[in-house]
Structure 1
Amino acid sequence: MDLSLGNWNLEMEISRLAAFGLVLVVAASGACGDTTSPVQLTVTVVAGDHQSANVSHPLANPLTISVTTSDGASVAGVPVVWTVIAGGGTLSASSGITDAQGRASVYWTLGNPAGTQSVTAALASGNGSSASFFATAVVPIVLHYDGTAWSTALEDINGASVSLASIWGASGSAVFAVGGSCSGQVALQYDGSHWSQLPASCQGVSWVGYASVFGSSVSDVFATLRNNLPMRMGGYLDHFNGQNWSVGVYGVPCGNNIDMLCAGPHGVWSGSPNDAFVVADSGIIAHY
């Protein structure tokens, strides 16, 4: 009876061990087939975002990114690819390797169009996130001299191809600048602290623009509007009364006619709202 019990206990133990061994084999087999998931890396902007510079000029500071793991640890030796997305600018390098601090940098020279431009940095492997940088390319259109040095007072940041031809002021807080853009004539006013709004971005070319501006006071300003089409010369004299511009108050004469096909005006001088002289092509001097 005892032997039988002993045999039974031994058999049960063997069965238990066998079963346990089977579990170990299965577990070991599962472990051998397991694969480790790749570490997820994150690309983050460190410095250099949202800068501005003149078109076709380099930014003052480099673009810098960092590559980290999900727990924030920096990763060195990671290949990074840099790409210009918008603006057509150039980079000092198209690729790089993160340093001991997990960082990589490039220098960015902006493209020619004014407005927002962008660059991205991504892992060369294609895995993980990417980081984007944005910059504003500007065109200086008004400069200011303070008695010591020149500085930029107004920039075209919209890409409207603003080109100013003349400037006049009644005082330091009443300045007028005129010219043209891709959308037509432009008349800007400075109130001592701010310039009036610039034209929005546009496409194409306009053949009409202001050539000169002059006035006797802030409420009496004349500007010559010139049509620059090669085969359609001509223009008008516009007037600002302190509130609004009146277009075409006077057509530049051509002989005895007043017609858009006449000589294009250049300069203007005025002494009052009813007294202005205009010089134009073909030696014309007109009086209003």
Structure 2
Amino acid sequence: MPELPEVETTRRKIEPLLRGRVIANVEHDAPHRYRDTHLSVGRRVAGLSRRGKYLMLQLAPADAAAADPHDLEFIVHLGMTGGFRLEPGQHTRVTLTLEPDDTGEGQQLFFNDPRRFGKMAVVRPGDYAGMPTLAAMGPEPLSDDFTEADFVRLARGAGAVKPWLLSQKPVSGVGNIYADESLWQAQIHPAQTRLTPAEGNRLYAAIREVMARAVEAGGSSLGSGVGNYRQHDGVSGLFQLEHHVYGQAGQPCPRCGTDIVKTVLAQRGTHFCPRCQMLKERSKGQTA
């Protein structure tokens, strides 16, 4: 599933294609999955931002005579296999057509999604009642809002740390890949509960470092299947070349040489080093 680094890379790549352009048409055949997209037609894309794993197009009226003068947001969740392309394909689910620009050139973007888990919705800005994960999402990991003190405090009362991270509540955008990589770097078992302050400090630093490196590398592209993440022009991310544990089951840990283990935690495949990331028993309230 595309996580923050992949979604941020997508945002950076397609923003120049969308900013300032007027949406001429949105075509699809699944109104239950792509809700109220018709409301975006005739609107100008004023900007393109990201929140966690969500893309957010800011839509403004294209002219002062618009029937509805209010701004809107076009929310996109890529799901497990979604991504934008410059050409249509076998798994194109949504076609976004833009009006010609000043040079007379039109533009189309195609949302491909083999497994059909991606979603879109056009809403009033901040109206996320139908998107509870987005509404309750924690701070961005690379922003000033993500503070070490708050994270360490919350981690002291957390249950199993990996599912806690995947909930998106302590920090946004961390999914399966980057949870495993951050926990390995911080030397914390994915099922560890009630992190000590020292563990919380290490994990905070690891999340920020791993996310920054992954964004710089353009995210992770795994395998060669049609549903694997690629940038809109087909270019692969490169962070998979830096994975220490994710997808490395049976390979030696880069830190200690012990074979990496894959298990299932909260129904998610989970990779860790059994030596570097030993599970520590703690009595209730023990966080020293």
Q: TM-score of the superposition, structure 2-length normalised?
A: 0.29
Q: TM-score of the superposition, structure 1-length normalised?
A: 0.29
Q: Structure with the greater relative contact order (CA < 8 A, sep ≥ 6): 1 or 2?
A: 2
Which structure features the higher share of strand residues?
1
Larger Rg: 1 or 2?
Answer: 1
Which structure features the higher share of helix residues?
2
